[in-house]
Amino acid sequence: MPLPASTTTLVFRPELNGLRAVAVGVVVLQHWVRPPFPLGEIGPSLFFVLSGYLVSGIVWRYGAYAGAPGRWWPRVRIFYVRRALRIVPAYYLALAAGALLPLATLHEHPGWFMLLVNNVLIYKAKGWGDGIGHFWTIAVEAQFYLLWPFALGWLGRRLQGLLALALAGWCFRALWALWVQLDMVHLLLPSSLDLFALGGVLCLAEGAPWLVRLARGRYVLLAWLSWTALRFALDPGPWAAVWAISEGSVLALADFLTIGWLLHVPAAGRRLGLTKPAMQWLGQRSYGLYLYHLPLFVFWQRLVYHFVPDAAGRAAWMGPLPTLLVLGPVLAGLAAASWHFVEEPLDRLKNRFQYRKASQAVVAAH
């Protein structure tokens, strides 16, 4: 069902910026505090659905997809340049900082990280590696950016195509688990297609009556309660393999409903505090928070084990409260420095690479 191009206009959404703060916050808590319930799994799924929504809007609005009217390749090339400026320099700086630490996987396999295919390395090794395991999501994002202009050019502006792609993500996980192996299959890009595709559905169908009807807080609550209940009921247990294949799709649906709710009911974001200055500050700097939080934790761990000789003292210093109190301000400072010295200047540089209007079907760049 094609929808008009007007549905792809780009508008700053402070609620979504605040949602980034939530997403990175649960990841940091998962890695630093190790709660019994895996809250950290929420973070990457939210980031991927948000990327699907935002990047689809950019690609459609500026005609930066294969087969767009006019000379589409120059616009796709500008899309790649702008995306690279957004994620690659800050990522390489974090890699350089990580290289100063004794991170064995990074030192032994630097090329995989430099080429942004480290998700495949981690999948092949079946181990996360100290301080660098979270970089798999950056690799998947980069691979998604390379794929998406061609995927959207092939699918067209059709909900059926995006929904079929979302189904393909689940089918890939199921077939890969059946024919190859189940462990860590979610690290491979095809496993995240349902997340990215549902983000595209949000962009394409924004304002559609059926989506407005779904944008209800009760549906959002029901989706997250269902994920929680299924997680407790199926993992671990005899249905653990089925849950491992299906959890990504359940998360994708919960993320889809959450973002759709915030898009269509902005007051909900205000009531949840997502538009508060602190949440906006954290959301804007969420990339730096994400990049540095795990290497910083490894650095803290090494310091504690070096200077605290007894096991009880180490356990105390590595406890949740000391970790949060000591590392929280340091991480905020690193993220602030990353934004001020790297990300914000590159955002200004990025604006030099403007999309060119090739026809009336393509809107001029902002």
DSSP 254: H
Place of tokens 């860590």: 184
**Global pTM value:** 0.93
What angle do helix axes 193-205 and 136-155 make, rounded to 10 degrees? Answer: 50
Cβ 8 vs Cβ 204: under 8 Å: yes
Give the pLDDT confidence score for residue 76 in this predicted structure. Answer: 97
Q: Residue 204 in contact with residue 65, Cβ under 8 Å?
A: no
Buried b (16+ CB within 10 A) or exposed e, 199-214: bbbbbbbbebeebeeb
Taking the chain, what is the end-to-end CA distance rounded to the nearest angstrom? 28
Q: Is the Cα torsion angle 174, 193, 208, 228 positive or negative in sign?
A: positive
Tokens of 261: 């709710």
HEC profile of 102-123: CCHHHHHCHHHHHCCCHHHHHH
Assess contact for 122 and 116: CB atoms under 8 A.
no
- The pLDDT of residue 241 is 85
Instruction: Give the 3-state secondary structure of residue 309.
Output: coil
pLDDT tens for each residue of the chain, 366 residues long: 333 333 344 678 999 999 999 999 999 999 999 888 888 889 999 999 999 999 999 999 999 999 999 999 999 999 999 999 999 999 999 999 999 988 889 999 999 999 999 999 999 998 888 899 999 999 999 999 999 999 999 999 999 999 999 999 999 999 998 898 888 999 999 999 999 999 999 999 999 999 999 999 999 999 999 999 999 888 777 788 888 889 999 999 999 999 999 999 999 999 999 999 999 999 999 999 999 999 999 999 999 999 999 999 999 999 999 999 999 999 999 999 999 999 999 999 998 999 876 443 333 322
Dist. CA 365–CA 270, nearest whole Å: 30
Exposed/middle/buried for residue 237 (C-beta within 10 Å: 0-12, 13-18, 19+): exposed
Q: Does the bond joining 277 to the residue before it have cis omega, within 30 degrees of 0?
A: no
Domain ranges (residues) in the chain: 5-294+339-350
Residue of 83, 86, 79 lying closest to 62 (CA atoms): 79
Question: H helices of the chain, where?
Answer: 14-33, 42-61, 72-99, 104-108, 110-114, 118-125, 136-155, 159-179, 193-205, 209-214, 217-234, 240-264, 266-271, 277-284, 286-307, 311-317, 320-338, 344-350
DSSP states of 21-78: HHHHHHHHHHHHH--SS-GGGHHHHHHHHHHHHHHHHHHHHTT-STT-SS-HHHHHHH
Confirm if 72 and 65 have CB atoms less than 8 A apart. yes
Looking at this protein, which amino acid is placed at residue 58?
I
Q: Report whether 286 contacts 43 (CB < 8 A).
A: no
Among positive and negative, which fits the CA dihedral 194, 197, 202, 208? negative
Q: Which of 76, 89, 105 is nearest to 138 (CA)?
A: 89
